[in-house]
Amino acid sequence: MNTAANAQPPLQPQQEATLLFVDDETNILSSLKRVFRPLGYRIFTAQGGAEGLALMEQENIDLVISDMRMPEMDGAEFLQQVTQHWPDTMRILLTGYSDITSTIAAVNKGRIYSYISKPWEENDITLQVRRALQQRALEQERRRLVALTQRQNEELKELNAGLEARVAERTAEIQQTASFLELAHEELKKSYTTVIKTFVSLIEMREGNGKGAGHSRQVADLAGKLARRLGKADEEEQDLVYAALLHDIGKIGLPDSLAGKPYNALTADETREVQKHPVMGQAVLMALEPLHEATRLIRSHHERYDGQGYPDGLKGEAIPLGARILSVVNDYDDLLRGTLLTERLPDVQARQFLRENGGKRYDRQVVDAFLALLDEEQQETGTEQYRQVKTGGLQSGMVLAQDLVTEDGILLLSSGYTLSDVLIEKMQSVEQAMNREFTLSIRNA
């Protein structure tokens, strides 16, 4: 029985997905079956909302395509019922050009993934279905990874009986961090961006020594600004931001002994192992069509301008510009954090490292543009004034001036976050539970 209480299993390859078409016109149902049957999907049809709901009680349905105008129960009401009882099922609405008011109602009530105007283009409707199923699979995979992390934490407590108290504290902090992330995710649309940010949190937590907290976000922020400075189009900038957020995803498969270890402290064997991560990162993400360009940048972000990089030994402008940007920004942040060299470098020395390696490791023009950007950022920061505020003095609408990070280096809130009453109460509750006191840097109005 496909009920709200029974969670559906993770989606297998798209050929095994189950689709339900709901329309009172048999010719529309026949057309939909003709389009999708050759693609290997399991297909069910219903000639009305009531029949469709009855079918969903009996079958595990991954995606529903419903017409808007139907007698007795229209598409908006039907999809609202699907949302309430089977929230994991993806929902697509078929609508005519004159149904804009009804379409808005369906968006509000049924929280549809997308709507398609009739008559449809076959390529468009099949692409929409494939993307919807991919998003559903990504969300299920995210839940699986979170559940897996929780199970591994429990196993760790059992295997380390002498460290139970420490593990319990660590688990509590992770759970509180997940609560902060959950609050942030409530304000985001269900999209690839949400999944990407979830992956980023898992990647950074994988470091285990605090050095990775906020790294991917900082690199993405600076890379996006540098891309705009160098005249990249909006779409190219977005691809670069995605690549920056996910550039270390291939490191998830590395042994624990290599997590967070500075690159120049690696042995020859360890270096060869670490150098696999750009290719692994591209492979992990290659099934996601909107990230194809981002994966190309991920693969090439450790190439060197002089051709001595990896994995392909690309040289000069044969390296994509986005990858050259990512290389400079990523290494700069790694120098500050101590994950590229064995010691952390102060900002002045990190900039000097970039200058000295312009034309060798890095594209000199990209280095010059990045250093100019840092100078501007520094001037803007110097003109702004901040104040330190305990949680008892926080008010809704205040803006965080610096990242809020735990003593273990776990990022709780990013700079620029606007506080709300709900979040302030949550932080005060966390303080009591953890017997800690947070001090936040708040930007003056």
pLDDT tens-digit map of 7-56: 444 444 444 799 999 999 999 999 999 999 999 899 999 999 999 999 99
**Residue 33 belongs to domain with CATH number:** 3.40.50.2300
pLDDT at 184 over 50: no
CATH code for the domain in which residue 405 is found: 3.90.105.10
Q: For the CA atoms of the chain, what is the radius of gyration? A: 25
The angle at the Cα of 151, spanning 147 to 152, to the nearest 5 degrees, equals 115
Q: pLDDT band for 180, please (50, 70, 90 cuts).
A: low
Over range 316-332, report the average pLDDT: 94
Considering the domain architecture, whether residues 372 and 398 belong to the same structural domain is answered as no
Residue 217 inside a domain? The answer is yes
Give the per-residue pLDDT at 253: 76
Query: Is residue 9 in a domain?
Result: no
* Residue 277: band (very low, low, confident or very high) from pLDDT cuts 50, 70, 90: confident
Residue 207: pLDDT above 70?
no
Check whether 313 has a pLDDT greater than 90: yes
With respect to residue 152, please indicate whether it lies within any of the assigned structural domains.
no
Domain that holds residue 428: 387-443
Q: Above 70 in pLDDT, residue 415? A: no
In contact, 404 and 184? CB cutoff 8 Å: no
More confident: 373 or 100: 373
**Domain co-membership, 257 together with 404:** no
435 and 347 fall within a common domain: no
Structure tokens at 118: 């009739």
| The total number of structural domains that make up the chain | 3
Range 64-73 average pLDDT = 89
pLDDT at 240 over 50: yes
Residues 309 and 368 in one domain: yes
Boundary of a domain, candidates 102, 132, 162: 132
Domain of residue 251, CATH code? 1.10.3210.10
Spatial distance between the Cα atoms of 184 and 198, rounded to a whole number of angstroms = 11
Q: Are both 119 and 27 inside the same structural domain?
A: yes
List of residues 6+ apart from 108 with CB closer than 8 A = none
Residues 354 and 438 in one domain: no
Residue 34: inside a domain: yes
Give the span between the Cα atoms of 73 and 106, in whole angstroms. Answer: 12
Mean pLDDT, range 379-402, rounded to an integer:
77
Asked if residue 95 is part of any domain, the answer here is yes
**8 A C-beta contact, residue 264 and residue 342:** yes
* pLDDT-wise least confident of 128-132, 245-249, 437-441: 437-441
| Same domain for 235 and 357 | yes
Q: Does residue 214 sit in the same domain as residue 340?
A: yes
126 in a structural domain:
yes
- State the Cα–Cα distance between residues 177 and 24, nearest whole angstrom: 48
Band the pLDDT of 103: cuts 50, 70, 90.
low
Q: Identify the domain boundary among 88, 106, 132.
A: 132
Q: According to the model, what pLDDT value does residue 3 have? A: 45
Bigger pLDDT: 197 vs 90? 90
Greater pLDDT, 206 or 9: 206
Residue 141 lies in a domain: no
pLDDT tens string 153-166:
777 766 766 556 66
Instruction: Provide the pLDDT for residue 308.
Output: 95
- What DSSP line would sit under 4-50, residue for residue? TTSPPPPP--GGG-EEEEE-S-HHHHHHHHHHHGGGT-EEEEESSHH
Rounded mean pLDDT, 349-356: 94
| Residues 226 and 304 occupy one common structural domain | yes
Same domain, 241 and 282: yes
* Contact by Cβ (8 Å): 370, 170: no
Domain annotation covers residue 178: no
Q: Residues 113, 230: one domain?
A: no
CB 182 within 8 A of CB 174: no
